[in-house]
Amino acid sequence: MYKVVIVDDEPVIVEGLRKIVDWQAYDCVVVGCASSGKEGLELIERLNPDILFSDIRMPGMDGLTMIAAMRSQHADMQVVILTGYRDFDYARQALNLGVFRYLVKPSKMKELDEAMESITQRLRSIDEKKDLDVASDNTSANNFVVKQAIAYIEQHYKEKLQLTDVAQKVYVSHWHLSKLLNSTGKSFSDLLGEVRIENAKKLMEDSSLHIADISEMVGFADTAHFSRVFKKFTGMSANEYRNRFLR
């Protein structure tokens, strides 16, 4: 039996979908329902469903980022979006991230049945590929998560930023985000340090700013740490850089 999770902030939609579809006819069983994105993500992590029916315009949740996170960590999970959000570009991006169907509310029974028929066929095909040791492709979702993580780092580098903070914002576990970032050839620490140092170099153009001031402005807790990281990325001390390039 394939496991199904339903996530929507409208309880009537959750209950209606749970009852209206003949899940057993498709060798499926609804193992969990949630009324918020946060609760839905927790259910997915705990139950590891094969199929997810979900809204994407829920309070506090970035729809595309949530989709990418789910597809990145659960490559074989089939995602069906049920939404009242009519936007072709948004739908296109969702499909590019691996969403199987993008259905606009109120969805017709025929659309739901067609989706379930196609999904179960795909899941059986995936099962056959697993027997042949053929991996699923979730590259687009992985790239999206990495892009969102880097964007968050670039916006919040001045803060006391940790990997867990960024992972929370892109809806993946910190270990999974670490793996994705490392696949780019740079660790989280390297990416954060690089962003901070590039911004420090710009601030150095203002001769009225002391190195200690700049260190604090770009997020370093102490000047000694800043100096070590600056030399790591530039091959010289901050003072040497300022004397050589900015005078």
Give tens-digit pLDDT for 65-95.
888 888 899 888 999 998 887 778 888 888 8
139-245: CATH architecture: Orthogonal Bundle (1.10)
Burial class (CB in 10 A: 0-12, 13-18, 19+), 60: exposed
- Cβ 181 vs Cβ 146: under 8 Å: yes
Q: What is the mean pLDDT of residues 229-242?
A: 92
The number of CA neighbours under 13 Å toward the Cβ of 95 is: 9
- Cβ 174 vs Cβ 163: under 8 Å: yes
Q: Where are the domains of the chain?
A: 2-131, 139-245
Q: Which fold has domain 2-131?
A: Rossmann fold (3.40.50)
Q: What is the DSSP code (8-state) at residue 30?
A: E
Least trusted range by pLDDT, from 36-40, 56-60, 113-117, 223-227: 56-60
pLDDT digits (tens, 9 = 90+) for 151-173: 999 999 999 999 999 999 999 99
Residue 130: pLDDT band by 50, 70, 90 thresholds?
A: low
Residue 218: pLDDT band by 50, 70, 90 thresholds?
A: very high
pLDDT digits (tens, 9 = 90+) for 1-25: 899 999 988 888 888 898 899 999 9
Q: What is the mean pLDDT of residues 182-209?
A: 94
Q: What is the mean pLDDT of residues 226-233?
A: 94
Q: Work out the mean pLDDT of the chain and round it to a whole number.
A: 89
Q: What is the DSSP code (8-state) at residue 25?
A: G
Give the pLDDT score at 246.
67
Residue 64: pLDDT band by 50, 70, 90 thresholds?
A: confident
Give the pLDDT score at 88.
80
**Is this model's pTM higher than 0.85 or not?**
no
Percent of the chain at pLDDT exceeding 90: 54
Burial class (CB in 10 A: 0-12, 13-18, 19+), 7: buried
